[in-house]
Amino acid sequence: MQFPSVASALAVLLASGLFPVSAQDVAQPAPLRMVEDVPGRLRALAAEHPGRARLEQVGRSLAGREILALRLGPAEGEPPALLVVGGLDGRRLGDSQALLLLAERLLSEAEPAAAATFAEASLTLVPLANPDGAAALLGQDGPGREQAGNGRPEDADRDGRVDEDGPDDLDGDGLITWLRVPDPEGEWVVDDHDPRALRKARRERGERGTHRLLPEGRDDDRDGSDSEDGRDGVQPDRNFMHGWKEHDPAGGQAPLSEPESLALCDFVLARPRIFAVLVIGAQDTLVELPKAEAKVPDNWEAPLPSLIDDDLAALKEVQRRLRALPGGKDHKVKGEGLTGGSFLAWTYHQAGRLPLALRLWEPPAELPKPEADAEQGAPAGEGEGAAPSAPTAPGAGAPAEKPRDKGDDADKDDEPGSDASSPVPAAVLAWLDKEHPAGFRAWTAFTHPELGEVEIGGLLPGTLHVTPPEVVAAKVPLLSGLVLAVLDARPQLRFEDVRAERGADGLYTLQAALVDVGALPALTALAASAQTTRPVVVRLGLPEGGARLAGPLAMRTGRLTGGGGRQEFRWVVAAGPGDVVRLTADADALPPVTTEVSLP
Amino acid sequence: MSSRARSLLVALLLAVPLAAPAATQATRTPRVAIAWDRFYDYDGIVELCRRLADSAPGLCRLEWLGESFEGRPMPLLVIANAATGDEAGKSAMWVDGNVHGNEVQGAEACVYLAWLLLERHGELPEITGLADGRVFYICPMVNPDGRQAWFAEANTSSSSRSGRAPLDDDRDGLFDEDPPNDLDGDGELLSMRVRVPPGEGSWRVSPEDPRRMESVPRDKRRELGADLQLVGLEGVDDDGDGEINEDGPGAYDLNRNWPSGWQPEWIQYGAGSHPLSHPESANIARFLLAHGNVAAAQSFHNNGGMILRGPGTKSREDLYPREDREAYDAIAKEGEAILPFYKSMVIWKDLYEVHGGFVNWCAEGLGIISFTNEMWNGDQYFAERGDGESEFGEGNEKRLLFDDRLLFGETFVDWHAVPHVTYGTVEVGGFRKMTGRVPPPFMIEEMLHRNAAFCVFHASQMPLLRADAPELAEAEGGARYLTLEIHNERWIPTRTAVAVAQHIGTPDIVTLEGDDVQVLAGGAGADRYDLADFEPVEHEPARLLLERGVPGHGSVRLRWIVRGSGPFSVTLRTEKAGSLVVGGSL
């Protein structure tokens, strides 16, 4: 068994272009340099494209890092807007990278249609909503490690000490990986498909575990548990009100207790013209439509468990437009739906906006076909690091004292596939071998101060969460097409069929219809029913000396559905021929529209 | 001195501190004289707080929790005797009032409690013990803006409940543009009625008393000549939209803005855009989250005579486990005796459903034993008990009798005609704001004292820890068993059952230390007789974690196996009951 030198490990990592490293003295590949300073990148884009892109402040993270938005669209006014958010989960750096590339693409010549769209609608991008979590993965805050939350100090093991036993970079490579500990009480066994991978022991069949898997670290507080009180903190994307889990440490002490989520909530509430929100993360509402069973409640007594079915039509329309895009039909990555406590769930259920979510990638869960797989165990790129785990010697990488319990041959009839619950699944290793051999750090013997002979290795931090750069590159055009398609489907109000008829005695009957000529509704069914948003109010403006004889001065509309949903209005007014009557429809969610009619 | 004389002297000395207050209770001159037969506006309450804090340096101080929406500082009286120990190391009680701007007497109840504790400190042993051994955080005005507006402007007994951040109640894009209006400028906000042709109204003037109105059933209207329509509170259509008084100041509920069980506006009226979205609630939450020693909470409201506890909805019953309910019941039962006319009730079951209420957050989110008192009950007008028919009539009949005989007509404004822009002429009249939900002046002090006495009892039930002397016994191989029993002599546990179940706060921690003491094993759940029968922990036996704390009127027995010699000390550290140190020697 050999230790790879730190330098050679770094070189391999850098060559992959995928994973963060903490060494500051080595130039990093372009994709990662991009997400290392998202605010800087956004500033640069705004500076390069004055008049087309501008910065907006969202807020600051718990550690004080800036959260910025970049807004594309007309320099003046408040047109209908789509908000796109990424990086709510600190581990999902690839999504942040995708949103930066999306901004670049939309500001470049690559999307000729964008100029027309952005003359009348705007797109607001928040590429990195949880910068503290990202900083942890980027190694800007100690050894590179996965941190879904914002790192708020917590007493995770409830022993009266805060964050006293986080992971430790035992091998000094600047990364927190995994400890593979031989232990018959462990729940893991070496995967038959790949000796580097582990799967859960099938205890229901009498199979005993052979290993424990622990985050790289030691028992800093000598309480018998390793790395059980680190700094994950509160997850901003579990800190929103709808479906918030009280008393769940990841959800925070109160909804919006975290600066990241509060800032995002305030940002949305202050911008009623955001008609839809698109989250790029682990959620999806476009490949697999969310459940939409609820009817518009007669009486709101409890939060809804699903979307109101009337709102599904709007999601279907966006799905249709997505599938019409090049590559749209082939995008089949499903994800979580409107997870409780998430920004997206709040966006729909409490802010009344259309909840869009697209997941760009998921780690492979299926093993490749056997023939493709044959003898590919230790690919070249992995170097010497892989040597200890020869495919034909299960468990040999470990100085295992106990022989692995192989079970009997009957098991072969229904052999388990790759175990998606594993931190080191066989299917992911097979994929890494082909695409990113440096993503796996070979199990390497280590004498642990408390645990004795163990191995350090496994997937590098972020591997299961960071959308790989080649996928990002491939998906940005689809994303770009999607946001333009959504903006082009935006709700748009028009007055139609405006008529004034002269009756007896100088009285006029005035009629008009207010129509949503956009494909998407002016308000979601939820927003209209729950009254999250002020409805469109149609007001009558009379000429001087004119009088209103019938019909209200101001009238609140019902919900206007997209694709021509309309409501008609009628007044009787007294005025003179040639006088001009003005009708205005104003709303918080949409720009006001006005029409004038000259009396015959 | 003969032994008889000596014992007499001892008896006299012992008797002095007890006898003194008895001799002075009704004749003593207060150190801080405050009129308790009246209510005070915002400035008046702040002034009382200043006087109390100035009167008792070292025992009471005035802090500010932050500012209200309109920028009024929110006073907090802190009663903590610096000479008797560190504030964070004592159990604390949170007391507030007036979260609803119109429910004014809560503020006076808060100030009265502070006054009682300071005024009788050094005179009455129970009060002295509480003020020295416990901490009180007293916030008289959770909603200073609503209070100030209620006093300064024309209001009813029920208006100005909200804070004053403008809201677009009628969703027309304009904010607070159509409030009620004091049509005749008399400083009162009263009911408004119009005369209609006989038979077309739904009310008529009572033949017995022209001040009263009678509702007339539809089939009797023509026969009885019903000629009145009630058209709401005094007001006009300020914004010309055809509706009157449909968008007044604010219109939200600061007591629906708390994290536990919060639901949005369309499920819970007044909720706000998110929990703690208002400065007033955020200020208080920040304080409570930073003061984990708060073990009891009381919030004063009006009215109805209730001692309320959560949950606010049926679905949250599981957050009130049996052990907590025992503490609630024990305190509330005593409360029913202290507060005649008040009933112990559960909010969702006996009143109505509330999402996101303050005491619900205290109880369910922070693990604090918490009550809301709805102060003042209409039965108190004629000191009636029971649910039977009143001999003084019902509703307004009884109130008018009280107004006539005891208040000499002060609280009712006779109906009088006033011009109105929409109706031509209206009649305006009814009860003034300072009646109905608040007692008349001569009954205010009793209300304040009884409610303060309930707080005193509640505070006295915060955990009080006592340890027996540690016991040593020989174990095999020259080691020794060290056993320590710790008792809680009050109803409230060091960790409420909801805190245990939901992992709120930090477990109690017991450490055993000594320079020459080796701790070989340790654990809780020790049997009194079988020394080997306890639950040794796997790690850190010298630092035991007690997730369940010390139960109310209960105890924990801890045991260690130790070696060594010389002095040792055992320290129990709790969030809500301070620390307890017990020494001994091996």
CATH code: domain of residue B126: 3.40.630.10
In a domain, A561, yes or no: yes
Average pLDDT over chain B, rounded to an integer = 94
**A356 plus A404 within the same structural domain:** no
**A391 plus A307 within the same structural domain:** no
Task: Please state, for a pLDDT cut of 70, what percent of chain A lies above it.
Answer: 87
In a domain, B182, yes or no: yes
- Contact state of A531 with B241 under an 8 Å Cβ cutoff: no
pLDDT tens for each residue of B329-369: 999 999 999 999 999 999 999 999 999 999 999 999 999 99
**A112 plus A242 within the same structural domain:** yes
**A133 plus A210 within the same structural domain:** no
In a domain, A84, yes or no: yes
Considering only CB atoms, B168 lies closest to which of A303, A534, A554, namely A534
Examine the pLDDT at A433 and tell me if it is beyond 80. Answer: yes
**B117 plus B17 within the same structural domain:** yes
Sign of CA dihedral B526, B532, B536, B541: positive
Q: Which amino acid is at A185?
A: E
- Strand positions, DSSP E, B342-496: 343-346, 369-375, 412-420, 424-431, 465-467, 471-474, 480-488
Q: Which residues of B36-70 are buried (b: 16+ CB within 10 A; e: fewer)?
A: beebbbbebbbebbebbbeebeebbbbeebeebbe
Examine the pLDDT at A44 and tell me if it is beyond 80. Answer: yes
Determine the Cα–Cα distance for residues A39 and A65; give it in Å rounded to an integer: 9
Contact A398, A451 (CB under 8 A): no
Examine the pLDDT at A13 and tell me if it is beyond 50. Answer: no
Could you give the 3-state DSSP secondary structure of residue B511?
strand
Residue B553 DSSP one-character state: T
Considering only CB atoms, B275 lies closest to which of A224, A255, A531, namely A255
At residue B544, the pLDDT reads: 97
At residue A371, the pLDDT reads: 61
**B114 plus B68 within the same structural domain:** yes
Of B54, B133, B49, the closest CA to residue B97 belongs to B49
Contact B211, B412 (CB under 8 A): yes
**B145 plus B35 within the same structural domain:** yes
In a domain, A398, yes or no: yes
Considering only CB atoms, B274 lies closest to which of A249, A255, A535, namely A255
Domain that holds residue A288: 37-137+233-296+303-360+467-488
The residue ranking higher by pLDDT, A293 or A391, is A293
At residue A412, the pLDDT reads: 52
Considering only CB atoms, A530 lies closest to which of B266, B276, B539, namely B266
Could you give the 3-state DSSP secondary structure of residue A248?
coil
What angle do the packed helices B42-55 and B144-152 form, to 10 degrees? 120
In a domain, B315, yes or no: no
- Chain B partners within 8 Å of A265 (Cβ): 273-274
In a domain, A27, yes or no: no
Residues near A353 by Cβ (< 8 Å), separated by ≥ 6?
Answer: A268, A274, A275, A276, A277, A347, A524, A527
Domain that holds residue B209: 169-249+388-431
In a domain, B158, yes or no: no
Q: What is the mean pLDDT of residues A231-254?
A: 96
Most B-contacting residue of A241, A308, A542 (CB-CB within 10 A), to test interface: A241
pLDDT tens for each residue of A511-561: 999 999 999 998 999 999 999 988 899 999 999 999 999 988 888 888 888
Examine the pLDDT at A381 and tell me if it is beyond 50. Answer: no
Could you tell me which residues are beta bridge partners of residue A126? A85
Could you give the 3-state DSSP secondary structure of residue B132?
helix
At residue A31, the pLDDT reads: 54
At residue A32, the pLDDT reads: 61
Determine the Cα–Cα distance for residues A59 and A69; give it in Å rounded to an integer: 9
What angle do the packed helices A469-488 and A309-323 form, to 10 degrees? 120
At residue A327, the pLDDT reads: 96
- Helix (DSSP H) and strand (DSSP E) numbers for chain A: 13, 20
Examine the pLDDT at A329 and tell me if it is beyond 50. Answer: yes
Place of tokens 């536990």: B260
- Please identify among residues 448-507 of chain A the ones whose CB lies closer than 8 Å to any CB of chain B: none
In a domain, A26, yes or no: no
At residue A382, the pLDDT reads: 37
CATH code of the domain in which A519 resides: 2.60.40.10
Token couple for A67: 């959260």
**B507 plus B480 within the same structural domain:** yes
Burial of B467 (0-12, 13-18, 19+ CB in 10 A): middle
Where do runs of H (alpha helix) occur along B504-585? none
Contact B138, B77 (CB under 8 A): yes
Q: What angle do CA A355, A359, A364 make, to 5 degrees?
A: 155
Give the number of residues written for chain A: 600
Phi/psi of residue B36, nearest 5 degrees:
-100, 20
At residue A5, the pLDDT reads: 35
Token couple for A299: 């009486």
- Please identify among residues 323-362 of chain A the ones whose CB lies closer than 8 Å to any CB of chain B: 350
Task: Give the CA count within 13 Å in the CB-facing half-sphere of A148.
Answer: 14
Task: Please state, for a pLDDT cut of 90, what percent of chain A lies above it.
Answer: 76
Where do runs of H (alpha helix) occur along B290-394? 322-338, 358-360, 366
Examine the pLDDT at A66 and tell me if it is beyond 80. Answer: yes
**A45 plus A78 within the same structural domain:** yes
- Contact state of B172 with A537 under an 8 Å Cβ cutoff: yes
Examine the pLDDT at B90 and tell me if it is beyond 80. Answer: yes
- Please identify among residues 224-263 of chain A the ones whose CB lies closer than 8 Å to any CB of chain B: 224, 241, 246-247, 249, 253-257
pLDDT tens for each residue of A72-106: 999 889 999 999 999 999 999 999 999 999 999 99
In a domain, B323, yes or no: no
Token couple for A416: 């388990």
CATH code of the domain in which A74 resides: 3.40.630.10
CB atoms within 10 A of CB B553: 17
In a domain, A93, yes or no: yes
CA B544, chain centre distance (Å): 35
- Contact state of B274 with A534 under an 8 Å Cβ cutoff: no
**A246 plus A111 within the same structural domain:** yes
**B530 plus B480 within the same structural domain:** yes
Considering only CB atoms, B173 lies closest to which of A350, A553, A586, namely A586
pLDDT tens for each residue of B534-555: 999 999 999 999 999 999 999 9
CA distance B179 to chain A (A): 18
**B91 plus B74 within the same structural domain:** yes
In a domain, A22, yes or no: no
**B9 plus B133 within the same structural domain:** yes
Place of tokens 């109310």: B552
- Contact state of B173 with A588 under an 8 Å Cβ cutoff: yes
In a domain, B316, yes or no: no
Contact B379, B398 (CB under 8 A): no
pLDDT tens for each residue of A19-43: 443 333 333 344 567 789 999 999 9
CA distance B341 to chain A (A): 32
Could you give the 3-state DSSP secondary structure of residue A30?
helix
Determine the Cα–Cα distance for residues B524 and B441; give it in Å rounded to an integer: 55
Determine the Cα–Cα distance for residues A360 and A97; give it in Å rounded to an integer: 12
Sign of CA dihedral B496, B497, B499, B503: positive
- Helix (DSSP H) and strand (DSSP E) numbers for chain B: 13, 24
Examine the pLDDT at B392 and tell me if it is beyond 70. Answer: yes
Residue at which a domain ends, from A441, A459, A477: A459
**A473 plus A355 within the same structural domain:** yes
In a domain, B404, yes or no: yes
pLDDT tens for each residue of B115-146: 999 999 999 999 999 999 999 999 999 999 99
Number of structural domains chain A divides into? 3
**B472 plus B528 within the same structural domain:** yes
Could you give the 3-state DSSP secondary structure of residue A104?
helix
CA distance A119 to chain B (A): 27
**A247 plus A197 within the same structural domain:** no
Considering only CB atoms, A158 lies closest to which of B172, B173, B506, namely B506
Phi/psi of residue A344, nearest 5 degrees:
-65, -40
Phi/psi of residue A480, nearest 5 degrees:
-60, -45
**B123 plus B257 within the same structural domain:** yes
Token couple for A357: 């979510």
In a domain, B267, yes or no: no
CATH code of the domain in which B519 resides: 2.60.40.10
Could you tell me which residues are beta bridge partners of residue A580? A598
In a domain, B156, yes or no: no
**A60 plus A77 within the same structural domain:** yes
Smallest CA–CA distance from B285 into chain A, residue: A254
Place of tokens 């939350």: A149
Q: Considering just the CA atoms, what is the radius of gyration of chain A in Å?
A: 29
Token couple for A62: 């718990």
Contacts of residues B202-205 at CB distance under 8 Å and 24 or more positions apart, as own/partner, are B202/B226, B202/B228, B202/B229, B202/B230, B203/B228, B203/B229, B203/B230, B204/B228
Examine the pLDDT at A402 and tell me if it is beyond 60. Answer: no
Number of structural domains chain B divides into? 3
Of B262, B261, B267, B352, the closest CA to residue A300 belongs to B267
Examine the pLDDT at B162 and tell me if it is beyond 90. Answer: yes
User: Would you place residue B190 in the very low, low, confident or very high pLDDT band (cuts 50, 70, 90)?
Assistant: very high
In a domain, A24, yes or no: no
**A245 plus A350 within the same structural domain:** yes
At residue A375, the pLDDT reads: 47
CA B250, chain centre distance (Å): 24
**A316 plus A388 within the same structural domain:** no
Phi/psi of residue B488, nearest 5 degrees:
-110, 120
Determine the Cα–Cα distance for residues A213 and A234; give it in Å rounded to an integer: 24
**A418 plus A564 within the same structural domain:** no
